[in-house]
C-alpha cells in the first residue's frame, strides 16, 4: 500500500502497463511454442549447456536484485513501530512478501505463458508444470538467500565490531580483498574453466528440472531431482535462517552490542599514547585520536583510501599475473597507488571532517599541531598496510631483498608526502563550499565539497605524488635501466636504488613545503 501510494502513477499508465504485460505474455507463449515445435520435430538443437550457464548467472543476479530491494524496503519500513505490533517472524515474512510481489510477481504471467507455449510445442503437458516449478522455485530461493544476506550483513559487522572495534574499516578492506581476488581469478583461471563451473553449479540443475519431461532434450534426471530436493530443503531452511538472524539483529542483543562499542577519552592514556606520546605533542596526538574515533564510527577516509587503489591494484595484479612476476615497475606502482589513496582519503576532505566543530578547532588548536595530528592519523593507519603490501610483493617478485626494503621505506615516505600535499590542498576549500551529503551505503550524513572541484583536487594529489615518484618509476623501466647501466657502468639494482633514494629526498622536501603551506592556510582561514 505504501509503495502504491508513493508511486503516483495514474490509472491510465497502469492500464497501459497491464496491456503491455498481457501482450508480452502472449508473445512469450507464441515464441516458446515455436521453439518447442522446432525441438519436437528435430529442427533445432536445444543449447542445454549455454542455458545452464545463463541460469547460473541469472540466479546470482536475482540474489543481488532481491538483496538490494530488501535493503531498500527495510530502510523505509518503520521497524521499531512494526515490532511493537507483530513478531519478528511476521515482520520478516511480510517484508519478504512485499519485496517478492514487487520484483517477481510482475513476471509471473510471461513465465506462465512461455511455459504453456513450450509445453504445447513439445507435446508434453507435464513440461509446463516442471518449468513453473523450476522457475518459481529458483526465483523464490534467490529471494530467500537475498533476505539472509541482508540481515546477515548487519549481524557480521556487529560481531566484528565486538572483537576488533573496527567493523566499518574491515568491511571496506574486505571489499577490496574480494575485488582483487576476483580480478586475479578472472585472469588466472581459463575462460572454459569458469564456464564449466557455471554449468555444473547447483543453480544450473534447475534447467534439468524444468526440461525433465522433454525426451528430445538430453537432460540428466539425477540433476533435475537433485534440484527439486535443493528447492524443497533450501527455501524453508533459508526462511528459518533469515528469521533467526533477523531476530538476533533486531533484538536487544544487537542493540546492546552497538551501544557498548566503547568510546574513550581523547586525552587519556591508551595505545596511541604509549606508542607516540614521547615523540608527538599532546595537542597533535589529540587531533589524531579524534580523527581515529571519527573513522571508527564512519569510515570516510577509509572509503576514499580503498576505492582509488582498487582500480590501480587491479591493473597491477592483472599485469603481474600475465608476466608471472612482480618487476620493479610493478612494485613502485603498488607503493604509489597505496600512498595516493592514503592521502586522498585522509587529507582531501580534512575540513569536511572538522566542519561541524570547525569554529572550535580553529580556536583551540594551532595550525602546526592540527596539521601534524592529521598527518599522524593518516600515516599511522595507512603506512603499515602500504609497507606490508609493498614489502611482501617485493620479496615474492624478482626484486632483491635490499631493493624491496628500500622501496618499502619510500612507500612510507610517499604516504607522508601524499597526506601533506592533500592536506595543503584540502585547506584551500572555503567554509561556504562545504555541504552535507549522504554517506555511501548508509543513511548517515557527512560534509564535503560538492562539484568538480573535489575531483580536481583528488587528481592534483595523484599528479603531485606522481611527479615526486617519477625518478623511481623511470629508473624501473627496463630500457632506461639498461641504458643507465651501459653509460655509468654500474649494476641495474644500484641504478634503481639511487633513483629511489632521490625520490625519498624529493618527497621529504615536498612534504616540508606542503606542511608549511597548510599551516599558513590554517592560520589565515576565515569562516566567511
**pLDDT tens sequence across 298-332:** 777 766 677 667 777 777 877 777 777 888 888 89
State the chain's mean pLDDT as an integer: 80
Cα–chain-centroid distance for residue 176?
A: 6
Taking only the tens place, the pLDDT of each residue in 144-187 is 998 898 888 766 554 444 444 444 555 555 556 666 666 555 55
Q: What letter does residue 439 receive in the DSSP assignment?
A: P
- Range name among 56-70, 181-195, 234-248 with the lowest pLDDT average: 181-195
String of DSSP letters for 124-141: -HHHHHHHHHHHHHHHHH
Could you tell me which residues come within 8 angstroms of residue 333 by beta carbon, excluding any fewer than 6 positions away?
312, 316, 473
Written as nine digits, the cell of 318 is: 592483472
Rounded to whole angstroms, the Cα distance separating 220 from 211 reads: 9
CB-based contacts of 275, cutoff 8 Å, min separation 6: 380
Question: What is the pTM assigned to this prediction?
Answer: 0.58
> What is the pLDDT, as a whole number, of residue 407?
92
State the pLDDT confidence band at 410, using cuts at 50, 70 and 90. very high
For residue 512, is pLDDT > 90?
Answer: yes
Q: What is the C-alpha separation between 492 and 472, in angstroms, rounded?
A: 12
Q: pLDDT for 112-133, tens place per residue? A: 888 888 888 888 888 888 888 8
pLDDT cut 70: percent of the chain above it: 83
Nine-digit cell string for 97: 512478501
Q: Under DSSP, is residue 437 helix (H, G, I), strand (E, B) or coil?
A: strand
For residues 196 and 243, the model is more confident at 243
Give the CA dihedral 442, 444, 448, 453, nearest 10 degrees.
30
CA 53, CA 51: separation in Å to the nearest integer? 5
Q: Which pLDDT score is estimated for 254? A: 43
Residues 216-240, mean pLDDT to the nearest whole number:
85
Could you read off the pLDDT of 39-91 as tens digits, one per residue?
Answer: 888 777 777 777 888 888 888 888 888 888 888 788 777 787 888 888 888 88
pLDDT average, residue stretch 368-381: 90
Task: Provide φ and ψ at 434, rounded to 5°.
Answer: -100, 130
CB 414 within 8 A of CB 379: no
Question: What number of other Cβ atoms are within 10 A of residue 89's Cβ?
Answer: 15
- Confidence band, pLDDT 50/70/90 cuts, at residue 409: very high
Who wins on pLDDT, 311 or 238? 238
Is the model's pLDDT at 498 over the cut of 80?
A: yes
The confidence score (pLDDT) of residue 411 equals 92
| Of 108-112, 144-148, 264-268, 342-346, the least confident | 264-268
Amino acid at each position: 500500500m505504501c509503495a502504491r501510494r508513493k508511486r503516483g502513477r495514474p490509472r491510465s499508465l497502469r492500464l497501459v502497463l497491464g496491456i503491455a504485460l498481457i501482450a508480452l505474455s502472449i508473445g512469450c507463449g507464441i515464441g516458446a511454442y515455436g521453439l518447442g515445435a522446432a525441438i519436437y520435430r528435430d529442427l533445432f538443437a536445444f543449447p542445454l549447456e549455454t542455458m545452464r550457464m545463463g541460469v547460473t548467472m541469472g540466479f546470482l543476479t536475482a540474489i543481488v536484485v532481491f538483496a538490494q530491494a530488501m535493503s531498500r524496503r527495510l530502510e523505509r519500513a518503520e521497524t521499531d513501530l512494526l515490532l511493537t505490533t507483530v513478531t519478528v517472524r511476521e515482520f520478516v515474512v511480510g517484508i519478504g512478501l512485499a519485496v517478492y510481489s514487487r520484483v517477481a510477481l510482475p513476471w509471473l504471467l510471461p513465465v506462465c505463458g512461455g511455459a504453456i507455449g513450450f509445453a504445447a510445442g513439445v507435446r508434453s503437458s507435464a513440461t509446463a508444470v516442471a518449468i513453473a516449478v523450476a522457475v518459481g522455485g529458483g526465483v523464490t530461493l534467490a529471494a530467500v538467500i537475498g533476505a539472509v544476506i541482508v540481515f546477515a550483513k548487519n549481524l557480521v559487522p556487529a560481531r566484528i565490531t565486538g572483537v576488533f572495534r573496527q567493523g566499518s574499516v574491515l568491511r571496506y578492506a574486505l571489499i577490496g580483498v574480494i575485488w582483487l581476488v576476483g580480478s586475479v581469478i578472472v585472469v588466472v583461471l581459463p575462460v572454459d574453466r569458469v564456464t564449466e563451473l557455471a554449468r555444473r553449479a547447483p543453480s544450473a540443475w534447475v534447467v534439468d528440472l524444468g526440461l525433465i519431461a522433454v525426451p528430445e532434450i538430453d537432460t540428466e534426471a539425477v540433476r533435475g531431482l537433485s534440484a527439486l530436493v535443493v528447492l524443497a530443503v533450501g527455501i524453508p531452511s533459508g526462511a528459518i535462517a533469515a528469521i533467526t538472524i533477523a531476530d538476533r539483529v533486531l533484538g536487544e542483543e544487537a542493540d546492546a552490542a552497538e551501544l557498548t562499542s566503547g568510546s574513550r577519552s581523547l586525552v587519556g592514556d591508551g595505545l596511541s599514547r604509549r606508542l607516540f606520546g614521547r615523540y608527538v605533542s599532546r595537542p597533535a596526538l589529540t587531533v589524531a585520536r579524534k580523527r581515529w574515533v571519527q573513522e571508527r564510527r564512519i569510515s570516510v577516509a577509509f572509503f576514499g583510501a580503498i576505492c582509488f587503489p582498487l582500480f590501480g591494484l587491479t591493473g597491477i595484479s592483472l599485469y603481474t599475473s600475465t608476466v608471472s612476476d612482480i618487476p620493479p615497475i610493478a612494485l613502485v606502482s603498488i607503493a604509489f597507488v597505496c600512498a595516493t589513496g592514503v592521502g586522498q582519503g585522509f587529507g582531501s576532505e580534512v575540513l569536511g571532517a572538522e566542519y561541524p566543530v570547525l569554529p572550535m578547532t580553529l580556536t583551540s588548536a594551532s595550525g602546526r599541531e592540527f596539521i601534524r595530528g592529521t598527518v599522524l592519523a593518516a600515516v599511522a593507519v595507512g603506512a603499515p598496510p602500504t609497507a606490508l603490501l609493498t614489502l611482501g610483493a617485493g620479496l615474492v617478485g624478482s626484486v632483491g631483498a635490499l631493493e624491496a626494503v628500500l622501496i618499502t621505506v619510500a612507500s612510507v615516505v610517499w604516504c607522508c608526502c601524499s597526506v601533506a600535499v592533500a592536506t595543503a590542498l584540502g585547506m584551500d576549500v572555503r567554509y561556504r563550499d562545504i555541504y552535507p551529503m549522504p554517506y555511501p551505503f548508509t543513511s548517515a550524513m557527512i560534509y564535503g565539497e560538492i562539484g568538480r572541484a573535489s575531483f580536481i583536487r583528488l587528481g592534483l594529489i595523484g599528479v603531485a605524488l606522481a611527479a615526486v615518484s617519477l625518478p623511481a618509476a623511470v629508473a624501473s623501466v627496463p630500457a632506461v635501466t639498461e641504458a643507465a647501466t651501459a653509460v655509468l657502468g654500474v649494476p641495474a639494482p644500484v641504478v634503481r636504488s639511487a633513483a629511489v633514494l632521490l625520490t625519498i629526498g624529493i618527497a621529504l622536501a615536498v612534504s616540508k613545503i606542503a606542511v608549511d603551506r597548510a599551516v599558513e592556510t590554517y592560520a589565515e582561514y576565515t569562516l566567511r
